[in-house]
């Protein structure tokens, strides 16, 4: 912790300084003080608050390492930016940690990447995280978070990756996710999400990876899926999707992995699937589909 000189000691004007000089000195000190206080010490207390919300750290990753006698920038899992010397990334993945996410984490105002996947974090995500406007990469996968997927995720206008797979999220996919115009990867698989895919999601034109499998989603696969022309992975298996596979699927020429198995899809398998030259894996089993896949074009799984 930074030690602050009690302000009363500073108020007594040293006799050798004329009043205007004292004013200048005090103003200068005030600027330094506020710069210091609004910077790395805030990051330190935010991380210490997170540490205090961790109830089990079986490998003692943080217990001794996250010590106030060293700079937060040398703490395990912490990365600081070279320019502002503030915490820009936090990676506590696969540390077997149990705990909750403290609201103070929202004070890490330079944070652009938060990866805590594969731990036992639980509870709900604090709304204070919306302060993290630089956020590009969020991975909360394989934990035990519950509650609804917060609609305020739509505030992270720079977000490129959002991974919430393998948690206990319930409710619907918030339509605000459609505001994430830079989103490239969205992983919501393995939760208890229900309802339809919101149409707004098809505004996320940069999506390459869309994984919604192992939930309770229903409705049809919307034809707007054809708008996501960069899609490489589309995983919708193990849900309650019904209706036909839309023909526009044939427009997704970058598709490599298409998982639609274990749904209630009906009708003919679209012939256009045979034209998807990048396709590497196609799972359609356990539906009520008819027809065959004809290869009009070279596609490795046809041979």
Ligand X SMILES: *[C@@H]1O[C@H](CO)[C@@H](O)[C@H](O)[C@H]1NC(C)=O
Footprint on this chain of ligand X (rule: CB under 6 A): 42, 45, 65, 67, 70, 74-76, 91, 93, 103-104, 106-107, 113, 115, 118, 128, 137, 142, 154, 166, 175-176, 178-179, 199-200, 202-203, 224, 226-227, 248, 250-251, 271-272, 275, 296-297
- Please report the DSSP string for 25-81 in residue order: HHHHHHHHHHHHHTTHHHHHHHHHHHHHTEEE-TT-TTTTTS-TTS-GGGSTTEEE-
Q: CB of 83: closest distance to ligand X in angstroms?
A: 19
Q: CB of 92: closest distance to ligand X in angstroms?
A: 8
Q: CB of 296: closest distance to ligand X in angstroms?
A: 4
Nearer to ligand X, 176 or 194 (CB): 176
Q: What is the DSSP letter of 276?
A: -
163 touches 189 (CB < 8 A): no
Reference 72, options 107, 34, 120; nearest CA is: 107
Number of neighbours of residue 83 by Cβ within 10 angstroms: 8
Q: CB of 24: closest distance to ligand X in angstroms?
A: 27
Q: CB of 128: closest distance to ligand X in angstroms?
A: 4
Rounded Cα distance between 281 and 263, Å, is: 17
Nearer to ligand X, 185 or 263 (CB): 185
Nearer to ligand X, 171 or 178 (CB): 178
Rounded Cα distance between 286 and 268, Å, is: 14
Q: Which residue is nearest to ligand X (CB)?
A: 226
Q: CB of 225: closest distance to ligand X in angstroms?
A: 8
- The contacts of residue 138 (CB under 8 Å, 6+ apart) are 113, 114, 115, 153, 156, 159, 161, 162, 163
Nearer to ligand X, 28 or 74 (CB): 74
Nearer to ligand X, 275 or 286 (CB): 275
Nearer to ligand X, 22 or 93 (CB): 93
């Amino acid at each position: 912790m930074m030690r602050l000189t009690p302000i009363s000691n500073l108020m007594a004007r040293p006799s050798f300084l004329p009043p205007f000089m004292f004013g200048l000195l005090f103003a200068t000190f005030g600027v330094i003080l506020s710069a210091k206080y609004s910077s790395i010490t805030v990051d330190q207390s935010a991380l210490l608050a997170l540490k205090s919300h961790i109830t089990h750290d079986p490998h003692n990753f943080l217990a001794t390492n996250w010590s106030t006698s060293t700079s937060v920038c040398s703490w395990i899992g912490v990365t600081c930016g070279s320019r502002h010397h503030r915490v820009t990334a936090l990676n506590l993945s696969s540390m077997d940690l149990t705990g909750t996410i403290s609201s103070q984490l929202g004070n890490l105002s330079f944070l652009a990447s938060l990866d805590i996947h594969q731990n036992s974090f639980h509870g709900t995500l604090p709304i204070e995280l919306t302060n993290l406007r630089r956020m590009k990469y969020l991975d909360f996968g394989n934990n035990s978070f519950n509650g609804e997927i917060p609609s305020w995720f739509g505030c992270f206008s720079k977000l490129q990756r959002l991974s919430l797979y393998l948690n206990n999220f319930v409710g619907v996919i918030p339509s605000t996710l459609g505001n994430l115009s830079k989103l490239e990867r969205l992983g919501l698989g393995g939760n208890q999400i229900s309802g339809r895919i919101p149409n707004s999601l098809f505004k996320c034109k940069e999506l390459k990876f869309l994984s919604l499998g192992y939930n309770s989603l229903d409705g049809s696969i919307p034809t707007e899926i054809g708008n996501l022309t960069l899609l490489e992975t589309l995983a919708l298996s193990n849900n309650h999707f019904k209706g036909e596979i839309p023909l526009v699927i044939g427009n997704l020429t970058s598709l490599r992995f298409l998982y639609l198995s274990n749904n209630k899809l009906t009708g003919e398998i679209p012939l256009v699937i045979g034209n998807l030259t990048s396709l590497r894996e196609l799972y359609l089993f356990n539906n009520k589909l008819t027809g065959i896949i004809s290869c009009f074009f070279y596609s490795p799984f046809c041979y």
